[in-house]
Every structure is written in C-alpha cells, then in structure tokens.
Amino acid sequence: MEIKKQKYRYIEWLSAEEMHGASKKWMSELSFIKDEQLFLNDLVKSYTLQLIDSEVFNKSQKIIDRISKAESEVITLMKRVQSHENLLEIMVNDVDELKMEKAYLETHWELTDKIERYMVDYRNLKVALFKVISRLMKKDKQKRLLN
C-alpha cells in the first residue's frame, strides 16, 4: 500500500474590499503593460533592419514572437480580471451562497497566480529585448566611430 503525501496549503482569507483593491491594481498594471507594449513595438520597428541581421535574427525572432504572444495574453487577462471584478457582487450581497463564494475565491487565487507569472515572464521578455537592442546600439555606435 502506497502512502500519499498530502500537500497543505494555507489560504489567506480576503475581504471583498481587499479583492476589489487587488482587481483594480491588476487592471492598472495590465493597462500599463498594454501601453508599454506599444513602446516595445515602436522600438522593434525602429531597429527592424538591425534585428533581421543574420547574427541576431533567430534570437530577435523569438523575442518578437514572445511580444506578440504577450500582447494577446494581456488582453485575455484584462478581460478575465474585468469579469472577475463584475462578479464581486457575489461576495458583498447579503445572501449566503457558499459554493459561489468559494468558487469566486478560487478564481481570485488562480488569477493572482496567473498575473504574477505573466508579470515575471513579461519582465524577462523586456530584459531580453533590451539586451538585444543595446547590443545593436553599441555595434552601431562602434561602426560610426570607425568611419
């Protein structure tokens, strides 16, 4: 007979106000990221010729694909957060709907996890893009100095 290890997880109880605040914070951060992606797209456009150079093409292509994926993912996350925010009424009405409240809390924790992972991935994506662009800028500067 096999003994299964149980994983215990402590869940912090959040009030409706705390969840509302978290949802507003998420929307603000995701909205900022959406605007920031416009900047990243402009940056990629301004360095397109250098990015298609054979030396950095494969790396830059992967980064650009990840940017496109991040753009669609941020829109999906924003829609999920908005619908989550709209369902907050379940938590504040005076009716005891334990199953729905529990489902709402589980969704809140799931969204917390997804958004945190998205933020980390997005930050890593920006670092990778900036490294490639800074190398291109240094290379371009060296060419100018030699001429």
Q: Which contacts (CB < 8 Å, 24+ apart) does range 113-122 have?
A: 114/77, 114/80, 115/26, 115/29, 115/30, 115/77, 115/81, 118/70, 118/73, 118/74, 118/77, 119/29, 121/70, 122/33, 122/70
* Inside any domain, residue 36: yes
This prediction has a pTM of 0.80
Residue 77 CA neighbour count, 13 Å, CB half? 28
- Residue ranges making up the domain that contains 72: 17-146
- Per-residue tens of pLDDT for the chain, all 147 residues: 566 655 545 455 677 788 888 899 999 999 999 999 999 999 989 888 888 876 788 888 899 999 999 999 999 999 999 998 888 777 667 666 778 878 888 888 899 999 999 999 999 999 999 999 888 888 877 777 666
Count of structural domains, the chain: 1
* Inside any domain, residue 28: yes
* Inside any domain, residue 10: no
| CB atoms near residue 115 (< 10 Å) | 19
